[in-house]
Amino acid sequence: MDTPTPGPDQDPTAGLPSEILLRMRQEARTKVLEARKNAHVRTDEESTHPSGRIDVVTCDEARPYDLESTEPLEQRPCYWTGIRGAQFADPTPWHYQPEIWHDVTGELVPEPENPADQHAVAIDLDGTRVGYMSANSAEHAHRLVSTLRARGSRVHVPLRIRIRHNRLLEWPQIEGYAALPTFVQFDQHLPTEEQTRDALQPLWDALAPGVIEQIARDNFYLTTSTLHEFIELRHLAPSVGLPDRALLQAVPRGVELFLSEQGVAHRRARTQERERLMQERNARIIAQHRAGAPVAEIADEEQLSTGRVRMILREMTLQSHLNVGGKQEDAASKADLVSYIARCRDARMRRRAGVPRERIAKDMELDSASLKTHLADGKFIENPRANTNRLTAARTIRAQGVTPAECRNNSELRALRDTLLLDLVLPGWQSDAGREDQAE
């Protein structure tokens, strides 16, 4: 790194009256001393150092880059940035020659108990904190550094340090830069998503059912209590890098991805179970209806509204109609279709006789929408050739060989159902199309 080299030092105190200079010096010194006094004192857990070491960025990797590098971060291993708060550090623990830049190695140390920022990541030099990563960088790097440390390694990066004399303070002051790893560089030292998934599976399988149920209720996000359960079983997944304390900000990213996958699988299973139960319920409703049970009785037994039961009957009847003529033709479905045609004709006949719609709907146990459909279908069944639009749509659907799953809208579903009605009420309706064209 080509560290920016300032020109000849300019004395910021030059020309100032002595009383102003003394006041400025006192204010500056007070600010520094207050910052040192209020600095976070690490807990015993934060001060614990793993036995291993990883140079997550080496000096050779950092050397080609500097503060002005413009390459995209995903294409390089690191980025140089100033060490935040270094100007407040006491430089006396370090015995580097003053006014000269020194290439050294520092350690990244998470401080989850830091009251100013639970995502704080300090930068240590020779075991003593010199400053911090920026808050924005630390927010993303905290869990990654914590994961590497939980896997047994201290995390080291290149630094450039200089101790210089501050003329305002009349004290030595430290300044420096750190080569911080990019996400791409971190990933080279962390397990892949697949490796994390395989490593976590034994732990997940060992969790008590009640814990998994709680995680599901929390939408597959860990809470402090459920993280405790993970930590109790962390020996089953030592390579994952789970923290030894319930610190949510230190949970490895791979754990969150694993839980997200578990959530997808859980929701899929619940959907399948709901569909199975709904199909069983609908089958019971159809069976009771065929046995002659009134809609009100079915609704009471299934704890549904009568309107909902009628809707299910319509949907299931339509589906059974569409099954007729298929490779797995269902005799009961065909019987239902014949019965439906008879009901449509009956509704049409009653309406022509002047019976009010409300009376027909009540007698036939239909709602207004169902009666409207019955009357329209009854009119079509009486004389299909009079409704050229429906007849043409049915011929087109039959010619194209469209299946129920391929229908793009309700109009195509209706046309497909009309083909089944026409098969029963107008034999040869498809071949009629050619003769009609010739007649025209």
pLDDT of 136-153, one tens digit each?
A: 999 999 999 999 999 999
Task: Judge whether residue 132 has pLDDT over 50.
Answer: yes
Task: Judge whether residue 11 has pLDDT over 80.
Answer: no
Task: Judge whether residue 266 has pLDDT over 90.
Answer: yes
pLDDT at 365: 80
Q: How far apart are CA 438 and CA 255, in angstroms?
A: 71
Cβ-contact 424, 338 below 8 angstroms: yes
Task: Judge whether residue 3 has pLDDT over 70.
Answer: no
Task: Judge whether residue 288 has pLDDT over 50.
Answer: yes
Q: What's the half-sphere exposure (Cβ side, CA atoms, 13 Å) at 272?
A: 6
pLDDT at 18: 84
226 to each of 39, 208, 219, how far by Cα in Å? 32, 11, 12
Q: What tens digit of pLDDT does each residue of 182-229 get?
A: 999 999 999 998 999 999 999 999 999 999 999 999 999 999 999 999
Going by C-alpha positions, the residue among 212, 266, 205 that lies closest to residue 233 is 205
Structure tokens at 109: 């140390």
Q: What tens digit of pLDDT does each residue of 384-418 get?
A: 999 999 999 999 999 998 887 788 887 888 898 88
Domain ranges of the chain: 18-187, 193-252, 383-440
Contacts of residue 148, defined as CB under 8 A and 6 or more positions apart, other chains included, come to 54, 56, 155, 186, 189, 190, 241
Burial class (CB in 10 A: 0-12, 13-18, 19+), 302: middle
Q: How far apart are CA 167 and CA 25, in angstroms?
A: 9
Cβ-contact 241, 136 below 8 angstroms: no
Q: What tens digit of pLDDT does each residue of 169-189 get?
A: 889 999 999 999 999 999 999
Going by C-alpha positions, the residue among 253, 262, 143 that lies closest to residue 196 is 253
Instruction: Quote the mean pLDDT of the chain.
Output: 88
Mean pLDDT of 40-44: 91
Task: Judge whether residue 354 has pLDDT over 50.
Answer: yes
pLDDT at 80: 96
pLDDT at 431: 74
Q: What tens digit of pLDDT does each residue of 53-107 get?
A: 999 999 999 999 999 999 999 999 999 999 999 999 999 999 999 999 999 999 9
Q: What tens digit of pLDDT does each residue of 411-437 get?
A: 888 898 889 889 888 888 887 654 554
Task: Judge whether residue 332 has pLDDT over 60.
Answer: no
Beta bridge partners of 165: 172
**pTM, full prediction:** 0.66
Q: How far apart are CA 438 and CA 220, in angstroms?
A: 67
Percent with pLDDT over 90 in the chain? 65
Any idea which of 174-183, 267-276, 367-376 has the lowest mean pLDDT? 367-376
DSSP letter at 101 equals -
